[in-house]
Amino acid sequence: MSEIDANMWKVCASDVATRTTNPIRAVVDHIKTKPNPNKSMIPLSLGDPTVFGNLRVSSVVEDILIETIRGGKANGYVHSAGPLEARLALAEWYSIPNEDKLSADDILIASGCSGALEIVISAIASIGQNIVVPRPGFPLYTSIAESRGIEVRMYDLDPEKGWEINIAHLESLIDEKTSFVLVNNPSNPCGCVYSKEHLEDVLAVAEKKRVPIIADEIYEHMTFTGNTFHRLASLTKTVPIITVSGLAKRYLVPGWRLGWAVVYDRNGILADVRKGMLAMSQIVLGANTIMLASLPNILRQVPQSFYDETMATLEKQAQALIQGLTGIPGISIIYPQGAMYVMAKIEVDKLKDISSDVEFTEKLLEEESVMVLPGQCFKIKNYVRMVFCAPPEKLSEASARIADFCARHSA
Amino acid sequence: MSEIDANMWKVCASDVATRTTNPIRAVVDHIKTKPNPNKSMIPLSLGDPTVFGNLRVSSVVEDILIETIRGGKANGYVHSAGPLEARLALAEWYSIPNEDKLSADDILIASGCSGALEIVISAIASIGQNIVVPRPGFPLYTSIAESRGIEVRMYDLDPEKGWEINIAHLESLIDEKTSFVLVNNPSNPCGCVYSKEHLEDVLAVAEKKRVPIIADEIYEHMTFTGNTFHRLASLTKTVPIITVSGLAKRYLVPGWRLGWAVVYDRNGILADVRKGMLAMSQIVLGANTIMLASLPNILRQVPQSFYDETMATLEKQAQALIQGLTGIPGISIIYPQGAMYVMAKIEVDKLKDISSDVEFTEKLLEEESVMVLPGQCFKIKNYVRMVFCAPPEKLSEASARIADFCARHSA
Ligand SMILES: Cc1ncc(COP(=O)(O)O)c(C=O)c1O
Ligand SMILES: Cc1ncc(COP(=O)(O)O)c(C=O)c1O
């Protein structure tokens, strides 16, 4: 501090900034331990498929991008919802078979699926209303809503039933102030994929309570053998649904920041919200135009083999991790059906000096240099989330270390 | 409408969305005329240098991007303020000679300069406070603030003095509820470039009133012969300044959505705001990682000749437009000193059937297929803004048509 007295200026952060938090950062920044310097670090914490280099975007996509750059015609400003061609390509992709096709007006492209969620949530929910989101669940829904001063209510997912939604609990949280219910399928952090019947039960609640649904389907089609993804919007003609998704996970490019919202509104219920979304999109033009101009060709030209190979790799990795973790006293696994995540329950009564998921995480890092995320990041206690994006040998190594760790701490 | 009654669902847009407007869209969408089908369209309305194909990004930049894509190492999530290398490169670029160098923590990269403005304004201003912005001025400042429910006050720029800030008026608007003053230099829509002395007068007001300044310098270094750009932060050691800028204009790539905020805070006054900015940046990760990873090389490798040629082209175009418009009865021009814009005053008393800038714009479009933006977009009456990004022959053609138009409508 020089002669100037900072207090004389009194420049504070805004109320909005003060109530804006990132629960993952808040938990992770408080982890008190460091990795074991004698063991190589194995991070199983980040939902980023690119970390290990084993999962890479299709070279077809790289070629499309380069053609766009060399073309020199995609450097300017575009429509705030995205250029027409890109929206038309998505409208085609997201249209439900045997129904009227979606139009470009049903699509809003943003800076990642996060950007789409920010626009949709801000456009639909007001202060004084509440939103209803899953627990455990992706923390961004809460961050966006709390930053905007909107109340968040959490419905339970039931680990005993493969993380199905507790329908009665969901229904009990909805009241006349509820702006929307959020359904995330396949789920982060649970790795579950819901059946048609279960999704129909959820839709019945929305129908009864007259509440629209935001369907976060960014892990769409990322399912393992024997599990089928059902697009929520394909199972109703009456409940208004806004689906959000993006390139990040399926194309292995989270850094590219290309996501979108798809408005399924057969009965004009969301006309007002749609206008609001467009208004919100005009403040900060979101996505990069090289990506936007490339999107139609990406959607059309990436061969099915790319998706198949990605999922085969992910499934093999999931198996390597599960296999290694199965039977370890002190933790129990719920077998994932898709996405990139598995949740492991920490049985604190079977571990002598570990009383919580956070403590498990801290000690595991300190002793074994394996990083996982404590369930508290997702508002659930005594679980940890592990990402199976690492190559099988690393995942086997990680689970061997976890086995050693649990044996050492066994009660 | 099918059997479902939309009213039974009562889904409205949020209060935030309802108060979010884009003044340019609001004015332009109300223009009642269509272009003359017998004349080719000449759009002088968009602040986008890529529209005509005469101004193109350096091929050096294209090469850097392609190398990044082929490298395959820039597809994952990065720090919410941008990767360290990119922030270090900007810290270097923005450090003030003969002062302590900026650090990576002083830089926050976002989705365009708009994204940076959204983060900075939301992080610093609360409901109940006011912000003080230029009139005429870039409408985004107002859009962001009003969307957040923050009061906007406008200080006058004086057309008689080359659009200098009316210092007394500025000072009169600041009170204890003022969160910041925004200074845009070089200016959109005015095309003016402020002298060192004038900027020092502005800083003296901020100093006296103890109010930080947001300096929108996205047209930095885009000045014409004889005019020098002075970075506001280089002229004070006491007033806390947050400078926002980006790749859009100087590199001719507005669609790429890469912008940033630079915190110049020698006395720790903005410590709290800095934390708030980081919190806001964690909600929606902004910029594209291909661009972010390429940024250090873009800043270092683009040859000076590219900047020089761009400015020579822009200056030649400005001259073509000015020359064509000079001496036309009914309009009077204020010679631009930089950026991409010229403001023309509409002398309604010299025009028989034109009573406003909006009417001028409508009739000019209908009769001559030349599109300009009415001053009302920038909150000033009886001016129109013209962009000189078109090639000289188009600008000469446009001004010839404007001359015909004014002659036809002369009082
Ligand atoms: C369920 C879910 N929704 C949305 C997102 C955000 O995706 P994006 O990176 O496209 O913003 C994620 C990212 O992890 C996610 O897991
Ligand atoms: C003064 C000013 N600031 C900010 C911006 C926004 O720039 P970006 O396209 O990087 O968001 C513009 C764009 O026209 C501008 O004129």
Confidence of residue B8 (pLDDT cuts 50, 70, 90): confident
Q: Report the nearest atom of ligand 1 relative to the CA of A47.
A: 14
Give the pLDDT of residue A30. Answer: 87
A392-409 helix and A357-368 helix, angle to the nearest 10 degrees = 110
Residues of B within 8 A of A291 (CB-CB) are 288
- Cβ of A216 closer than 6 Å to ligand 1, yes or no, is yes
Q: What are phi and psi of A391, to 5 degrees?
A: -65, 155
Contact B72 A57 (CB under 8 A): yes
The tens place of each residue's pLDDT in chain A, 411 residues long, gives 344 566 688 899 999 999 999 888 888 888 899 999 999 999 999 999 999 999 999 999 999 999 999 999 999 999 999 999 999 999 999 999 999 999 999 999 999 999 999 999 999 999 999 999 999 999 999 999 999 999 999 999 999 999 999 999 999 999 999 999 999 999 999 999 999 999 999 999 999 999 999 999 999 999 999 999 999 999 999 999 999 999 999 999 999 999 999 999 999 999 999 999 999 999 988 899 999 999 999 999 999 999 999 999 999 999 999 999 999 999 999 999 999 999 999 999 999 999 999 999 999 999 999 999 999 999 999 999 999 999 999 999 999 999 999 999 999
Give the pLDDT of residue B2. Answer: 43
Contact B76 A48 (CB under 8 A): yes
- Cβ of B47 closer than 6 Å to ligand 2, yes or no, is yes
Give the pLDDT of residue A25. Answer: 83
Q: Is the pTM of this model over 0.90?
A: yes
Give the pLDDT of residue A6. Answer: 60
Give the pLDDT of residue A4. Answer: 54
Mutate to test the pocket of ligand 1, among A121, A144, A188 (most ligand atoms within 8 A of CB): A188
Most B CBs within 10 Å, among A7, A10, A15, A16, to test the B interface: A16
Residues of A within 8 A of B14 (CB-CB) are 122-126, 179, 276
Task: Quote the CA–CA distance of A52 and B35 in Å, as a whole number.
Answer: 55
Query: For the segment B133-174, what is each residue's pLDDT rounded down to a tens digit?
Result: 999 999 999 999 999 999 999 999 999 999 999 999 999 999
Task: Quote the CA–CA distance of B372 and B133 in Å, as a whole number.
Answer: 23
Q: Report the nearest atom of ligand 1 relative to the CA of A246.
A: 10
Three-state SS at B331: strand
- Cβ of B387 closer than 6 Å to ligand 2, yes or no, is no
Checking if the pLDDT of B87 tops 60, the result is yes
Nearest CB partner across the interface for A283, out of B11, B12, B143: B143
Nearest CB partner across the interface for B115, out of A252, A275, A284: A284
Q: How far B387 CA lies from chain A's nearest CA (Å)? A: 15
DSSP run (H or E) holding B119: helix B112-124
Query: For the segment B201-221, what is each residue's pLDDT rounded down to a tens digit?
Result: 999 999 999 999 999 999 999
Percentage of chain B exceeding pLDDT 70: 98
Give the pLDDT of residue B1. Answer: 38
